[in-house]
Amino acid sequence: MPWVIDGSGAVVTGGGAGIGRALARRLAAGGARVVVNDLNSSAAAAVAAEIGGYAAPGDVATEQGVHDLIAAARGHLGEIDIYCSNAGIAAGQGPDAPEETWQRSWEINLMAHVRASRELLPAWLDRGRGCFVVTASAAGLLTMLGSATYSVTKHAAEAYAEWLAATYAHRGLTVHCICPQGVKTSMLEASGEAGKAVLAAAAIEPEQVADALWAGLADGRFLILPHPEVQGYYEFRASDPDKWLRGMNRMQQRIEEVEGLEAAQ
């Protein structure tokens, strides 16, 4: 069901920068009353001040942090209509990433969504209406060369969003899963040579992600693909996984060649 944004109460996690800030701005411009969360309290406060929203800083990588955010947001908004579970991290590389890095990735890239939905669903199912937005990634539909921690936890995020939609759509829950490739934020800046080699050329502005969500809110579609070409990659992966994997491996080999050349310089 399409959403009437005007006057709706919205929460955006990780709203102090990057994609979250663009989502908060877009929702506020559309008339939503927006609660801006971020681990960085001054960033949350700055965005809230800019858009006439309410800052609720805190860490959504913990159960208590999610609970406190939703309590603060309800205190300010009354009921929450739209919850954008956007905060995420790109940390770690392969299986040798430290246990702590794997765990941190799970907590923020998956469990933040699980915990938020646990808090929100009872009231939403009771009134037959709620909108849950997960910022996953194209890595959650495909893979992110160079980072198993990111790819695996983003697949989990997408799977969880899918499960929510499949389970609760008939009870009034709308779920959107945002799956961009490269977006020009500090996360992309920090993604290292492999990340930049794969993502930089087609990187888009955070505002384009927000516009794509805006269009998706209007028509109710689940997958929000700010890079439309991701649809084709996703279909190709499903239709011929072996060919798709061979292509990804060729890309990995090219990245290693570039890294080797750079290391030799």
Ligand X SMILES: NC(=O)c1ccc[n+]([C@@H]2O[C@H](COP(=O)([O-])OP(=O)(O)OC[C@H]3O[C@@H](n4cnc5c(N)ncnc54)[C@H](O)[C@@H]3O)[C@@H](O)[C@H]2O)c1
Catalytically active residues, by annotation: 137, 150, 154
Site for ligand X in 187-206 (CB under 6 A): 187-188
Residues 36-55 that bind ligand X (CB under 6 A): 37-40, 43
The residue within the footprint of ligand X, chosen from 10, 11, 17, 255 (CB under 6 A), is: 17
The nearest distance, CB 71 to ligand X, in angstroms, is 16
Task: Name the H helices within 173-240.
Answer: 186-189, 192-199, 206-219, 229-239
- Maximum Cα interatomic distance, the chain, rounded to a whole number of Å: 62
Q: Is 143 in the site for ligand X (CB under 6 A)?
A: no
- CA–CA distance, 174 with 162 (Å, rounded to integer): 11
CA–CA separation, 211 and 135 (whole Å): 14
**By CB under 6 A, is residue 230 in contact with ligand X?**
no
Nearer to ligand X, 41 or 129 (CB): 41
How many residues belong to the site for ligand X (CB under 6 A)? 30
CB hemisphere CA count around 199 (13 angstroms): 26
Residue from the set 47, 56, 60, 70 that interacts with ligand X by CB under 6 A: 60
Handedness of CA 218, 221, 227, 232 (dihedral sign): negative
Question: Which residues touch 185 (CB under 8 Å, ≥6 apart)?
Answer: 17, 18, 19, 206
Interface stretch with ligand X, choices 162-170, 175-183, 230-238, 246-254 (CB under 6 A): 175-183
Q: How far is the CB of 57 from ligand X (least distance, A)?
A: 8
- Judged by CB under 6 A, which of 52, 99, 186, 250 binds ligand X? 186
List all residues 6 or more positions away from 167 whose beta carbon is below 8 Å from its beta carbon: none
The residue ranges that bind ligand X (CB under 6 A) are 13-14, 16-20, 37-40, 43, 59-61, 86-90, 108, 135, 137, 180, 182-183, 185-188
